Structure 1
Amino acid sequence: MSNLQTIEKQEQQTFIDVIQRRRSVRSYDPTVQISREEMTEILELATLAPSSSNLQPWRFLVIDKPELKNKLLPIAFNQQQVVEASAVIAVLGDLESYKNAEKIYGQAVEAGFMPVDTAKSFIERTVSTYSSFSPEVARQVVNTDGGLISMQLMLVARSKGYDTVPMGGYNKAQFVEAFGIDEKYVPVMLIAIGKATKPGHPTTRLPIEDVAFFNEMPTE
């Protein structure tokens, strides 16, 4: 085996370890703080996730002030990890992300990834298409992209030695009102992040033959 193959094998195993060690953790050390610099790095790496037309509709509200975590606690049905974790990241979806198309594709041109004429065509088509979506379709798109970014964020956190738990159990209407969330943003989920004091419970998965099928679905 060549040195390159050895390095690739090690990198693959490291990634597999991250996946296997990720658990939904609900007990955190409240004394652990994540610096603004490290949190920013975690979020930047998470944003390498894919999104529809690369519009990157995710927005993050990082809640790490104790008084704001206490404000969030009853809204999140008194789940204790809200106040114990270093922070709670609210993942939001921007229904008007298509308005950033010119900036996004302009960056692609500046980076040499796309000719100017191609970018102009992409911008016109993207704005026309996404601005005409029904509210239901627009929400479906940002929820899908929000799920992608959320999983990536949790894996990045684990690779840096932090634990997380995704939370869909909270009152979204109360959250929007309490934290002044504009109506163009769709709450996707909350993610608590910090250092675990207890490991997440081990879980099992269905056999792969129960969930994966090749070329055709089974008949019931």
Structure 2
Amino acid sequence: MKSLSDVIKERHSVRKYDPNFKISRQEIEEILGEAISAPSSSNLQPWRFIVFDDQNTKKELREIANNQEQVETSSAVIAVLADKEMYRNIERVYRSANEAGYMDEANMERLIKSANSTYPHASEEIRKNIAFFDTGLVSMQIMLLAKAKDYDTVPMGGFDKAKFSQRFAVPERYEPVVLIALGKAAAPAFKTTRIPLKEVLEYK
């Protein structure tokens, strides 16, 4: 079994995919099912997913995504959406934790009260920033879990989000953040370098 360090080192952004290679919905759901263990602000889990695996729909999506080839040739594209009204999850999240035995009634009520006094009253911009941050965490987990299964990915922020929401009937509550192409590489990814750690690190 690969170590986490190996998975991180092997994951690269792949843009050339084998169009004949298919990943089952069951495997995609396994990846997403593990990915949603990602942390989130107050555990409100402000993410939703749309999986595109129909070839005709992917062709439409490609037009919205600046004609990026990998949208059509990958096995599937996972759209990660941010829930700007994550406060609607408050009761469900904490009551579920109580029912699972992870917190007692008093702590549940305290956390529900605290979250309800904060999130619903925050501006949409603040809630959007929180949701975007959290969807970044779950997106990275998706890509690492895919690599652990020997699949390849590339995150794409370059797409028309307004057209996406309109074409795929995304409720106003949700905002598309990133598209993640998922499949098997048909050509090696370009190698990249990193700015040395000593230039981006300081201690205080």
- TM-score normalised to the size of structure 2? 0.97
Aligned to 1:200, the other structure's residue is in SS state coil
Deviation at 1:131, TM superposition (A): 0.5
Specify which of 173, 180, 192 is matched with residue 203 of structure 1.
192
CA contact (8 A) 1:166 1:190 kept: yes
CA distance in 1 between partners of 2:144 and 2:7 (Å): 7
CA RMSD of aligned residues (A): 1.1
Deviation at 1:200, TM superposition (A): 1.0
Unpaired runs of at least 5, structure 1 = 1-10, 216-220
Which amino acid in structure 1 is aligned with residue 190 of structure 2? H
Deviation at 1:104, TM superposition (A): 1.0
Unpaired runs of at least 5, structure 2 = none
Aligned to 1:122, the other structure's residue is in SS state helix
Deviation at 1:93, TM superposition (A): 0.7
Specify which of 75, 86, 93 is matched with residue 82 of structure 2.
93
Aligned to 2:8, the other structure's residue is in SS state helix
Moved over 6 A (4+): none
Deviation at 1:134, TM superposition (A): 0.5
Q: Map of 1:5-44 to 2, 5 A cutoff?
A: 14-44=3-33
Deviation at 1:101, TM superposition (A): 1.4
Specify which of 57, 62, 72 is matched with residue 68 of structure 1.
57
Partner in structure 1 of residue 42 of structure 2: 53
Partner in structure 2 of residue 214 of structure 1: 203
- TM-score normalised to the size of structure 1? 0.90
Quick one: percent identity of the two aligned structures?
A: 50
Q: Does 1:174 align with 2:191?
A: no
CA distance in 2 between partners of 1:83 and 1:40 (Å): 20
Rg bigger for which structure?
1
CA distance in 2 between partners of 1:163 and 1:71 (Å): 22
CA contact (8 A) 1:33 1:86 kept: yes
Which amino acid in structure 2 is aligned with residue 78 of structure 1? N
Q: Does 1:134 align with 2:123?
A: yes
CA distance in 2 between partners of 1:213 and 1:192 (Å): 35
Q: How many residues align?
A: 204
Which amino acid in structure 2 is aligned with residue 126 of structure 1? A
CA distance in 1 between partners of 2:95 and 2:124 (Å): 27
